[in-house]
Amino acid sequence: MVKIAPSMLSSDFARLGEEARAAEAAGADYLHLDIMDGRFVPNITFGPDVVAAIRRSCSIPLDTHLMIEEPERYVDAFAKAGASILTVHAEASLHLHRLLCQIREAGCRVGVSLNPATPLEMVRHVLSEIDLLLVMTVEPGFGGQSYIEAMTAKIAEARRMLDEYAPHVELEVDGGINARTAPVVVRAGARVLVAGSAVFTHPNGLDGGMEELRASLGLA
């Protein structure tokens, strides 16, 4: 089963609650929240209070992606705010196993993310501790970027690794996902697709964006 997780990074920040409800009504499986600190990535978005406000606006799982330095300092705050899944970058932690255990203890599902140039080998030893592996298919920090074609092979490699060592782990991709690239990443093995501008800035609105994505995957 393929899941679609609209990214709130591409939504109208003046209408976050409405946008969250609209995404849920359009059939989103998860709502993807990009948390950026201006240090790990060159952009700043929002913190736990905004996550809590979005949590009050919808009931679908909040797929919360921490693109921040020292994520261990903020795990409890985002968990209390209502994050369902907390995904941290392997590149952001010197003690990744400890951090993943901290997320589990906080009551969230556990995710780990890799930047495009980071090898999959970096997370092989923690696969038993996670529920979701996020392969970035653009450099993190900004929405609306183009899919890095070389990531197709990495997604396929991740699929083989998970099938062999951790079949319970969901394989998610984020970056440049639209009606053209969605079938490509699904054929490679992705099962959760984060889509921002393809959904929230679609010419036919959010519903049109979701319908086009589903149609590209034969889900309409």
Rounded to whole angstroms, the Cα distance separating 147 from 151 reads 8
Residue 63 annotated to the active site? no
Is 34 considered catalytic here? Answer: yes
List the catalytic residue out of 12, 29, 34, 207: 34
Question: Which of these is catalytic: 37, 63, 131, 174?
Answer: 174
- DSSP type of residue 76: H
Sign of CA dihedral 25, 44, 136, 65: negative
Contacts of 197 by beta carbon, 8 Å cutoff, 6+ apart: 10, 143, 144, 178
Separation between Cα atoms, residue 142 and residue 188, nearest integer Å: 24
Strand order in the sheet with 85-89: 3-6, 192-195, 170-174, 132-136, 109-114, 85-89, 62-67, 31-36
- Residues serving a catalytic function are 34, 174
